[in-house]
Every structure is written in structure tokens, then in C-alpha cells.
Amino acid sequence: MLYIVGLGLGDERDITVRGLDAVRSCSKIYMEAYTSLLSLGLDPAALANLEKLYGKEITVADREMVEERVDQVLSEAADTDVAFLVVGDPFGATTHTDLVVRAKKMGVEVKVIHNASVMNAIGVCGLQLYRYGETISIPFFTDEWRPDSFYEKIQNNRQLGLHTLCLLDIRVKEPTWESLARGKKVYEPPRFMTVNTAISQLFEVEEARGGYAYRRETLCIGVARLGSDDQKIVAGPMEKLLDVDFGPPLHCLIIVGETHPLEEEMLEFYMIK
Amino acid sequence: MLYIVGLGLGDERDITVRGLDAVRSCSKIYMEAYTSLLSLGLDPAALANLEKLYGKEITVADREMVEERVDQVLSEAADTDVAFLVVGDPFGATTHTDLVVRAKKMGVEVKVIHNASVMNAIGVCGLQLYRYGETISIPFFTDEWRPDSFYEKIQNNRQLGLHTLCLLDIRVKEPTWESLARGKKVYEPPRFMTVNTAISQLFEVEEARGGYAYRRETLCIGVARLGSDDQKIVAGPMEKLLDVDFGPPLHCLIIVGETHPLEEEMLEFYMIK
């Protein structure tokens, strides 16, 4: 059996009781460490806390390992109980559909244990989840690569009066271009996109496109460390959020659409002065 | 302190470890029983299982109680630790924003403990969450009341190639119209909308509107008891799902938009023969 277990958004105590029981019953535990910079997985202390709670050792699986050794993991799961831990929900912002498809094709039974993800926990800022349009991802711009296909999606959402959740890039264990060219991988240091970088990239795209999908005054909400004890939520005009220090990762951004009175009442608590 | 604790989608074991610790530390525990027909709350055995896990008594709060006695709950929370339990996530499909706003205005500290909700767990069917448009709710049609404002939303989503999650009506402790007119409340029996009813209402609306937002052949996914051990997921043309028995509540429906190859691979597992 392959258990795909969501860990939620905070620390080791955000696993569900069902998830904890499953993990404790497994003979092998993997944890994906490539879709989230959360303290989990990258911070040895957080990993130790997980291992202590489970009473088991965890193998941290980076992207390469998952891609290259997935068949090994799945054949282990054919013989015994294996847990694959995922920050957030197994089918949240980053989905693990490919793992499930492979497992099912190999005849390995899969059990999914859900948890909170950014896609629902973002409701905490007060905007109703059913008033969101398509979710977008904003990638780090580089000198050579400045993709802006998210622009039309924001535009569509805003024309419909809907909110836009922007997931911000994280780069964990990415090989540098130079090293790929030379054939021997050297990795970039891990980094995550801040709300500030996201907004300045958005301004750059608006300037280039000129479609008025949003303006400097458009109401936005910056969110950091969603679901953690020290989460930070600040609402205000886009240009004002540009100067707010949101602190450590992860960050995300919401471009607010049309609001209802109850949404506005809640946003008041987070509004920048 | 007011803890608003998400219980997740299955049974008592879907609470998080953090949530369980919080509930066990509270002197008073309320549970909302009006946004979900889940076994939780309406089924005395399920309620007993929760109380056994928590080692505490739970006061089940129906809609009237929450609306009429919220100030009492909040003043309790000003003096002591109170837990308000919510099926799914506190800010999932049904949000409890109003409770948070009231608490904050009274100066009561609020702590939200997230969990899975339909809004993210629906990812299990294989469609990517970021490819969904606006979520809609389909209410029970009555002789006098057949609201169809969801139609334009489906149309917008489909024009953009996006999937539409349809949340289906549940009616728990609703006073009958006749009893309201007579001034003495008599309640309807609780009921929930099946995938089948939702589709036949959708067909009726399409026939009236004629905008081809969807057709009898449009690919849909019916989901029942999402996140439970006996969840049922069936994909197929809308008209074929009309005859599928999805069993006990809760149900929801997805109108599929444009699909990517990985989504299609996953849907194959659920496709009706």
C-alpha cells in the first residue's frame, strides 16, 4: 500500500490523526522536498521533529530522486506499506497525480490522506473561496526567460469580478544552466519569491502589455507563512505592498476582485495603515 | 480564546494533532451541524466517537443556535478556551468569516486550525486545482423558486476551458414555508442533493437558456463522500451519470473543461464503462 499523506501547512502537529496512524504503521517513509520551502524538509530541526513524532526515520526525496527512483518506491509499496509525505495536501497546489497514475498502473493500492493546502487555507484572509477564478503561478523572471501567460488569466478573472490567487515561485535544488551545459550538475541555492518581487514583476508585465488588468492602486493581499503560528496577512493597494517586509517563506499574493460587504469587513483587519 | 477547528472530511480521525490538542484543552466545545450532512454531527454514533476521542462533551450547534446565541459563545471565549468545530476547513466551501469578524470586534482572540475541505480534496479526481474557474452552488429547485444564476458562471468557466466544481444543496433543519407563515416553526426533514438531481436540474436550465454552456455529452465527474473510506468517483458524459447510484451523502459534481494528458490519464481510472 502507498499512503500519500498531506502534512498540512504548519509544523509536525498539522498531520491528521489518521495520517499519523498510517505513517507509524509504514515500514518506509519518504518525504517530498521539492514543492515547498517550508521549514519542513529543508530545516533539519523540523525534520527531526517529524521523525520524533513518528518514531521513524524519514528519507527526504528531492525532485531528482522522485523522478528517477519512483519505480523503486512503488515496488517497495507493492510489498509493504510505504508513506509518501507531502507538505499541504497531496492534491493541493502541486499535485502528485503522476505518482498515483504510475502506482495504479503497477497495481499498487493507493490511499490518500488529505490535509489543508494553500488552495483552501487562503480562505482565512476573508475572501470567499467560491469567488476566486483561475489560480496562477508567477515564475522568477531571468534575463532570458520572462514568461507572462498569467497576464490573460488575471485579466479574465478581473473581468468576471473574481479574485486571483497567485502562487509564487520556489526554486529548490535547481541545476544551473551553465552546469547543465557542461554536463555536470551544480545546483542553485534554494530561493523563494517574495510578495515584493511578485508585485514588481506584475508591474513590469502590465507596463509591457498595457491592458489594465490591474493598476498600482488595485487592492491586493500579501500572505506569508499561511497556516503557521506566525503567518502574516497584509491587505492594501498593490504599490503599497511593494514595501512591506513579509519575512521568511512561503509567500503568496491575492489580486482582489469585486468584494462583498462581509469580505470587506474581514479585510479591514488586515488593511495597511 | 476561540479555536475554530476544521475536522476534515472523513471521521473523527481526520482532525489534526494540533486540532486535537486544542480541543482537549478547551472547557467548552461547540460543533456546527448546519453546513454538512456528513455522518459527523447528525449521526449519534459519529458524535459519540468524537466525544470519546476528545474526552469531552460536545454541544451540537444548529444554524439557529449559532445565529441567535453567537454572543454567548463569544463571551465564553473571552473568559476561557472554547472550540468551535467545523466539518472540512473553517474557511472551506462554507466560510465562518462572520464568526471571526464578530469575535475580533469583541476583542476575542481567534485561532484557526485548518484542515482539508472539498475545495482542495477534490483534486483527488485528477483534475488540477489551478484549472478550475469559479465554484458554483446548485440549490434545490422548488415550484416557486428555480434560481439559475449559476448558468452564466458555468458558461464563463467553459469558455475559458476551466473546470467547474458544483457544490450541491443540503438542507438541514430548514423551517417549512407553511410553518413560517403560521408563525410556529416546523422543520423539513434533512435532505441532500444527489449528483442525479443536480444533472437533471442542469439539463432543465440548459433547455430554458439554450446557451450551450454544456450538453448531454459533456464530460462530468460525480463524487460522493469525498475523503471517506468509501468515496465514489465516476466520470462520464453527463447523461450517463444521470443513472449512476452514488449512494449516501455528500455529493458534488464537476463539469470538466479542457483537459491535459495527465488529467486524462487519471480520469481513465474513473471512467464509466
Report the pLDDT value the prediction gives residue A94, as an integer from 0 to 100: 63
Q: What is the spatial distance between Cα A219 and Cα A267, in angstroms, rounded to a whole number?
A: 10
- Residue B242 is given by DSSP the state T
The residue of chain B nearest to residue A103, with distances taken between CA atoms, is: B266
CATH 3.30.950.10 maps onto chain B at 119-268
Grid cell, residue B187, equals 422543520
**Nearest by Cα to B4 from B94, B123, B64:** B94
Q: What is the spatial distance between Cα B35 and Cα B254, in angstroms, rounded to a whole number?
A: 20
Q: What is the spatial distance between Cα B262 and Cα B95, in angstroms, rounded to a whole number?
A: 32
Q: How far is CA A226 from the centre of its chain?
A: 10
What single-letter amino acid sits at A74?
L
Grid cell, residue B143, equals 415550484
Q: Do A91 and B124 touch (CB under 8 A)?
A: yes
Q: Do B124 and A135 touch (CB under 8 A)?
A: no
A9 is in an annotated binding site: yes
Q: Which positions of B make up the binding site? A: 9, 89, 92, 117-118, 168, 226, 251
A74 CB within 8 Å of a chain B CB: no
pLDDT digits (tens, 9 = 90+) for A60-101: 887 777 778 888 999 999 999 999 999 899 987 666 888 899
Contacts of A97 in chain B (CB under 8 A): 126, 128, 262-263, 265-266
- Sign, Cα dihedral of B1, A17, B56, B32: positive
N- to C-terminal Cα separation, chain B:
52
Query: Rounded mean pLDDT of chain A?
Result: 91
Residue B233 β-bridge partners: B223
- Residue B273 is given by DSSP the state -
Q: Do A134 and B131 touch (CB under 8 A)?
A: yes
Contacts of A98 in chain B (CB under 8 A): 262
Burial profile A181-202: b = 16 or more Cβ within 10 angstroms, e = fewer: eeeeeeeeeeebbbbbbbbebb
**Nearest by Cα to A233 from B174, B206, B104, B1:** B104
pLDDT > 80? residue A193: yes
Residues 36-65 of B with CB under 8 A from A: 53
Residue the block writes with cell 443556535:
B65
Select from A11, A20, A50, A114 the residue whose CB has the most chain B CBs within 10 Å, as the one to mutate to test that interface. Answer: A114
3-state secondary structure of B250: coil
Contacts of B162 in chain A (CB under 8 A): 134
SS (H, E, C) chain A: CEEEEECECCCHHHCEHHHHHHHHHCCEEEEECCCCCCHHHHCHHHHHHHHHHHCCCCEEECHHHHHHHHHHHHHHHHHCCEEEEECECCECCCECHHHHHHHHHCCCCEEEECCCCHHHHHHHHCCCHHHECCCEEECCCCCCCCCCCHHHHHHHHHHCCCEEEEEECEECCCECHHHHHHCCCCECCCEECCHHHHHHHHHHHHHHHCCCCCCCCCEEEEEECCCCCCCEEEEEEHHHHCCCCCCCCCEEEEECCCCCHHHHHHHHCCECC
3-state secondary structure of B20: helix
What CATH code is assigned to B2-116? Answer: 3.40.1010.10
Q: Do A134 and B133 touch (CB under 8 A)?
A: yes
Q: Do A92 and B132 touch (CB under 8 A)?
A: no
The residue of chain B nearest to residue A160, with distances taken between CA atoms, is: B156
With beta carbons less than 8 A apart as the criterion, state whether A272 and A240 touch.
yes
Non-local (6+) Cβ contacts of A122 within 8 A are: A129, A165, A223, A226, A252, A254, B91
Q: What is the spatial distance between Cα B51 and Cα B15, in angstroms, rounded to a whole number?
A: 13
- How many other CB atoms sit within 10 Å of the CB of residue B212? 10
Greatest pairwise CA separation for chain B in angstroms:
59
Peptide bond preceding A250 in cis form (omega within 30 of 0): yes
Residues 75-104 of A with CB under 8 A from B: 89-93, 95, 97-98, 100-101, 104
Architecture of domain A119-268: 2-Layer Sandwich (3.30)
CATH 3.40.1010.10 maps onto chain B at 2-116
Contacts of B95 in chain A (CB under 8 A): 123, 128-129
With beta carbons less than 8 A apart as the criterion, state whether A115 and A10 touch.
no
Torsion-angle region of B55 (φ positive above 0: left; ψ -120 to 50: alpha; else: beta): left
Nearest-CB residue to A89 (from B116, B126, B136) = B116
Looking at the complex, report in whole angstroms how far the Cα of residue B132 sits from the nearest Cα belonging to chain A: 6
Non-local (6+) Cβ contacts of A232 within 8 A are: A222, A223, A224, A225, A246, A247
Q: Do B137 and A126 touch (CB under 8 A)?
A: no
The residue of chain B nearest to residue A115, with distances taken between CA atoms, is: B116
Report the pLDDT value the prediction gives residue B10, as an integer from 0 to 100: 87
Residues 199-238 of A with CB under 8 A from B: 227
**Nearest by Cα to A18 from B47, B11, B119, B230:** B11
Grid cell, residue A195, equals 510578495
Please report, rounded to a whole number, the percentage of residues in chain A having pLDDT higher than 70. 95
Residues in chain B, pLDDT under 50: 38-41
Non-local (6+) Cβ contacts of B149 within 8 A are: none
What DSSP string describes B212-231? -SS-TT-EEEEEESTTSTT-
Report the pLDDT value the prediction gives residue B42, as an integer from 0 to 100: 56
Contacts of A163 in chain B (CB under 8 A): none
The residue of chain A nearest to residue B7, with distances taken between CA atoms, is: A16
Q: Which positions of B make up the binding site for S-adenosyl-L-methionine? A: 9, 89, 92, 117-118, 168, 226, 251
pLDDT digits (tens, 9 = 90+) for B150-205: 999 999 999 999 999 999 998 876 777 777 788 887 877 778 899 999 999 999 99
